[in-house]
Amino acid sequence: MQHLRAAWVAVVAAALVLGSGSSARAQGSKSNLLQNLKPSRSHNVLNPGRLTDNTAAADGSFWDTDLTSRFNGPEAFVIYDLGSEQHIGAAWLQGDNNDVYELGASSDGERFTTVWRAGPVGGAGLRARQSDRLEGTGRYLRISASGGDGSYSLSEVQVFGQTPDVFPPPLAQAEGLPLGQSVRDNTLVFGLALMVLVALAYRGMPRWWLGVLLAAVAIALLSLWKALANDWPAGTREVSLIRGVLAAVAAVAVAREALGGGRWAAQRTITGAVLGFCGIGAFAAFYNLVQPQFTDAGRHTTTFVHYYDLRQYYTTAKYFREVGYGGMFAADVAAYLEDTPGASVDSMGSHIMRDLVTLRTSTVARERAAIAGSKARFSPERWEAYKRDARAIREAMGTEEYFAMMRDHGANATPVWMALAHLLFSAIPPSHGGFTFTALFDLLLLAGMFVAIGRVYGSRTMWVCMVVFGANDFIMFGTNWAGSTLRHDWLAYLGFAACALKREKWVAGGALLALSTMIRAFPALALVGAAIPALWTIWEHRQAQGRFPTLAELRTQPIARVALGALGATVVLFLFSIAVLPAGAWSEWLQKVARLSADAHTNHISLRTLLAGAGGDQADLLRARAPVFAAGALLITALVALAARGQRLDQAAMLGLVLVPTYLYPANYYIHIVFLLPLVAVDAVVWIALLGLCAAQYFTVLVNDKADHFYFATVLLFAAFFVMLGALVARQPSVQRWLRSSPGT
Question: pLDDT digits over 406-428, tens only?
Answer: 999 999 999 999 999 999 999 99
Mean pLDDT over 253-266 rounds to 88
Total domain count for the chain?
Answer: 4
| CB-count exposure of residue 663 (10 Å: 0-12, 13-18, 19+) | middle
CA proximity to 297, closest of 289, 305, 287: 305
Q: pTM for the complete prediction?
A: 0.88
137 and 256 housed in the same domain: no
Q: How far is CA 488 from CA 242, 376, 378, 439, 480, in A?
A: 22, 34, 31, 10, 11
Examine the domain organization and report whether 570 and 701 are in the same domain: yes
Rounded to the nearest angstrom, the gap between the alpha carbon of residue 684 and the centroid of all alpha carbons in its chain is: 29
Q: Which 8-state DSSP code applies to residue 583? A: T
pLDDT score, position 25: 39
Tens of pLDDT along 393-407? 999 999 999 999 999
pLDDT digits (tens, 9 = 90+) for 666-703: 999 999 999 999 999 989 999 999 999 999 999 999 99
Contact 689, 254 (CB under 8 A): no
| Angle formed at CA 44 by CA 112 and CA 471, multiple of 5 degrees | 155
Angle among Cα 652, 655, 658 to the nearest 5 degrees reads: 155
At 87 the three-state DSSP class reads strand
Q: What is the pLDDT of residue 21?
A: 39
Q: For residue 744, name the pLDDT band (cuts at 50, 70, 90).
A: low
> What residue numbers bound the domain in which 85 lies?
27-174
Query: Which residues make Cβ contacts (< 8 Å) with residue 218, sequence separation at least 6?
Result: none
pLDDT tens column, 22-44: 333 344 578 999 999 999 999 98
The Cα 210–Cα 200 span in angstroms is 9
Domain boundary among 352, 387, 408: 408
Mean pLDDT calculated for residue range 593-608 = 90
What's the pLDDT at 427? 96
β partners of residue 295:
302
DSSP assignment, residue 700? H
Per-residue pLDDT at 3 exceeds 70: no
401: left (phi over 0), alpha (psi -120 to 50) or beta: alpha
Q: What is the rounded distance in angstroms from the CA atom of residue 462 to the CA atom of residue 453?
A: 6
Is the per-residue pLDDT at 440 higher than 60? yes
Bond before 39 cis per omega within 30 degrees? no
Q: Is the pLDDT of residue 362 over 90?
A: yes
Q: Give yes or no: residues 594 and 707 share one domain.
A: yes
Q: Is the residue at 21 inside a domain?
A: no
Q: Is 435 helix (H, G, I), strand (E, B) or coil?
A: helix
Half-sphere exposure of 365 (CA within 13 A, CB side): 6
Q: How far is C-alpha 680 from the geometric centre of its chain's CA atoms?
A: 27
Question: Are residues 105 and 141 in contact, defined by beta-carbon separation less than 8 angstroms?
Answer: yes
Distance CA 612, CA 711 (A): 10
In sequence order, what are the residues at sequence separation of 6 or more whose Cβ sits closer than 8 angstroms to the Cβ of residue 456? 499, 502, 503
Name the nearest CA neighbour of 300 among 112, 74, 148: 74
Query: Which band of pLDDT confidence, cut at 50, 70 and 90, is reported for residue 11?
Result: very low
Question: Is residue 295 situated within a structural domain?
Answer: no
Please name which of 266, 395, 406 lies closest in space to residue 329, comparing C-alpha atoms.
Answer: 406
According to DSSP, the β-strands at 55-57 and 172-174 are parallel
Whole-Å CA distances, 153 to 10, 71, 112, 177, 182: 51, 6, 21, 14, 17
User: Do 520 and 651 share a domain, yes or no?
Assistant: yes
**736 pLDDT above the threshold of 90:** no
- 257 in any annotated domain: yes
pLDDT tens across 520-571, in order?
A: 999 999 999 999 999 999 998 888 888 888 888 888 889 999 999 999 999 9
> Residue 110 domain-assigned?
yes
Query: What is the overall mean pLDDT for the chain?
Result: 92
Q: Could you read off the pLDDT of 645-667 as tens digits, one per residue? A: 999 999 999 999 999 999 999 99
What is the C-alpha to C-alpha distance for residues 602 and 613, in angstroms, rounded to an integer?
A: 8
Report the C-alpha gap between 100 and 118 in whole angstroms. Answer: 6
> Could you tell me if 205 and 190 lie in one domain?
yes
Say if residue 277 is in the same domain as residue 364: no
pLDDT more than 70, % of the chain:
96
Q: Are residue 142 and residue 228 in the same domain, yes or no?
A: no
pLDDT digits (tens, 9 = 90+) for 276-321: 999 999 999 999 999 888 888 888 888 999 999 999 999 999 999 9
Q: Of all helices (H) and strands (E), which one includes residue 515?
A: helix 506-520
Helices (H), ranges, 302-364:
307-318, 320-323, 328-339
Q: Are residues 155 and 184 in the same domain?
A: no
Q: Is residue 427 part of a domain?
A: no
pLDDT confidence bin for 390, thresholds 50/70/90 = very high
**Residue 318, in any domain of the structure:** no
Query: Is residue 100 over pLDDT 80?
Result: yes
* Residue 710: burial class (beta carbons within 10 Å; 0-12, 13-18, 19+): buried
- Whether residue 10 is predicted with pLDDT greater than 80 in this model: the reply is no
Residues of 436-475 as b/e, b for ≥16 C-beta within 10 angstroms?
eebbebbeebbeebbebbbebbeebbbbbbbbbbbbbbbb
Whether residue 621 sits in one domain with residue 532? yes
Report the sign of the C-alpha dihedral through residues 686, 690, 693, 698, in that order: negative
Q: Which of 139, 174, 209 is the C-terminal boundary of a domain? A: 174
Picking from 180, 178, 86, the residue whose alpha carbon sits closest to that of residue 134 is: 86
Q: Are residues 206 and 137 in the same domain?
A: no
Asked whether residue 200 is assigned to any structural domain, the reply reads yes
Rounded (5°) CA angle 306-311-315: 130
d(Cα 224, Cα 216) in Å, to the nearest integer?
12
593 and 660 assigned to the same domain? yes
Q: Domain boundary at 379, 408, 437, which?
A: 408
Where residue 742 falls among pLDDT bands split at 50, 70, 90? Answer: low
pLDDT at 6: 45
Q: Residues 382, 384, 386, 389: what is their CA dihedral angle, to the nearest 10 degrees?
A: -130
Cα angle for residues 29, 33, 37 (degrees, 5° grid): 155
- 365 C-beta neighbours (distance < 10 Å), count: 14
Beta strand 41-43 with 77-88 is antiparallel
383, burial (CB in 10 Å: exposed 0-12, middle 13-18, buried 19+) = buried
Whether 234 and 291 have beta carbons less than 8 Å apart is answered as yes
Inter-CA distances, 705 with 479, 562, 605, 614, 740, Å: 16, 44, 15, 12, 48
Q: Is 448 a member of any domain?
A: no
CB-CB neighbours of 685 under 10 Å: 18
Phi, psi of 365 (to 5 degrees): -60, -40
Q: Are residues 244 and 362 in the same domain?
A: no
Q: Give the domain CATH number at 163.
A: 2.60.120.260
Taking the C-alpha atoms of residue 21 and residue 424, their distance in angstroms, rounded to an integer, is 68
Could you tell me what percent of the chain has a pLDDT over 90?
80
Contact 72, 233 (CB under 8 A): yes
CA dist., res. 81 & res. 139, Å (int): 6
Per DSSP, 477 falls in state B
d(CA 490, CA 501): 16
Q: What's the rounded Cα separation, in Å, for the pair 84 and 224? A: 42
How many CB atoms are closer than 10 A to CB 369?
9
> pLDDT tens digits for 195-243?
999 999 999 999 999 999 999 999 999 999 999 998 888 989 999 999 9
